Chains A and B, each alone.
Chain A
Amino acid sequence: MELILWRHADAEDGADDMARRLTPKGEQQARAMAQWLRAHLPGQYTLLASPAVRAQQTASALATPITEKTLAPGASVAAIVNAAEKHRGIVIVVGHQPDLGRAAAQLVAGARAEWSVEKGAVWWLAGEAPARIKAVVSPEML
């Protein structure tokens, strides 16, 4: 399996966390990352996103996502892995920190740790646990 963890791009502050929208900078980050993904993804993949608006907007820069409520902020490692394992092939999960960094630490190093995943960045993991890190790209590095 290949799992691509994609953190939502830069978002506005706001009282209602689920309704926070991307800033103009965030919209640009999402577009740039979507373009990179399009250049490197094979034709078939599954795109899952947290229901939070900033994650939905980020994912939508690539394609129309499947919304998974279990990927909302605070998602456990198990929730992220379970959501991905329902699908075959390449699965992209658009979600939040520290959730995605915990999932990467668990899948790659079997560790309970909080790895940093920058806003708008992608961590591309391949293989069963322990997974191999195939690529890490952040908007600043594009």
Chain B
Amino acid sequence: MDLILWRHAEAEENAADDLRRRLTSKGRKQAQHAAEWLLQRLPSRFALISSPAVRAHQTAQALGTPIKVEQSLAPGATPKAIIAAAGWPDSKGAVVIVGHQPDLGRTVAQLVAAGDGRWSIKKGAIWWLSNRVRDGDAQVVVRAVVSPDLL
């Protein structure tokens, strides 16, 4: 399967309610650029699953396809919760997860390096992983890592 982990784009600060923070105008542009990049590369059918936080949902909306909101992807999500929400590694096709740091960075550290690190993922950046079996071993392949400044 293809697992695309997408961190929400730049959001306003200083909101009383973290879950209601909205994207800034720069963040909306970042989300739009990343969405265009994704739409050119994703298969025609894919699942889109977002954290319930407004900044994640707004980021996901840039793709223009139906969004499944998953409460377990809210800020503070464990790698286990993210991996379960994505159905990794057995889902068919592609799954796009929109979430938060350090949650997504911990998930990629676990999937790619079997480690407990907190890998850096910039706002609006995308990590695209896929799995395959080679010589009888299950492998995780990092197919792409892109951030808004490199799109």
A interface residues, Cβ below 8 angstroms from B: 40, 105, 108-109, 111, 113, 115-116, 118, 123, 130, 132-138, 140-141
Given contacts A40-B150, A132-B120, contact A141 B113 (CB under 8 A): no
Binds A, one of B24-32, B61-69, B83-91, B138-146: B138-146
| Interface, chain B (partner A; CB < 8 A) | 41, 109, 112-115, 117, 119-120, 128, 139, 141-147, 150
* Contacting pair A136 B143 (CB below 8 A): yes
Q: Which residues of B contact A123 (CB under 8 A)?
A: 142
Is B139 touching A116 in the complex (CB atoms < 8 A)? Answer: yes
Residues in A with CB closer than 8 Å to B113 are 105, 108-109, 111, 113
A interface, over-half SS: mixed
Smallest beta-carbon distance B15→chain A, Å:
28
Contact A130 B146 (CB under 8 A): no
Give the CA-CA distance A134 to B144 in the complex, in Å.
10
Name the prevailing secondary structure of the B interface residues. Answer: mixed
| B63 CB to nearest chain A CB (Å) | 17
Minimum CB distance partner of B141 in chain A: A116
Q: Is the CB of B144 within 8 A of A116?
A: no
Determine whether the beta carbon of B147 is less than 8 Å from that of A134: yes
What's the least CB distance linking B102 to chain A, in Å?
A: 13
Q: Is the beta-carbon distance between B145 and A134 smaller than 8 angstroms?
A: yes
Q: Is the CB of A135 within 8 A of B150?
A: yes
Using A109-B117, A116-B141, A137-B145 as known contacts, list a sample of 17 further A-B pairs with CB atoms less than 8 Å apart, ordered by residue number in A: A105-B113, A108-B113, A109-B112, A111-B115, A116-B139, A116-B142, A130-B117, A133-B120, A134-B147, A135-B145, A135-B146, A135-B150, A136-B144, A136-B145, A140-B143, A141-B41, A141-B143
CB-CB under 8 A for A115 and B142, given A108-B113, A132-B120:
yes
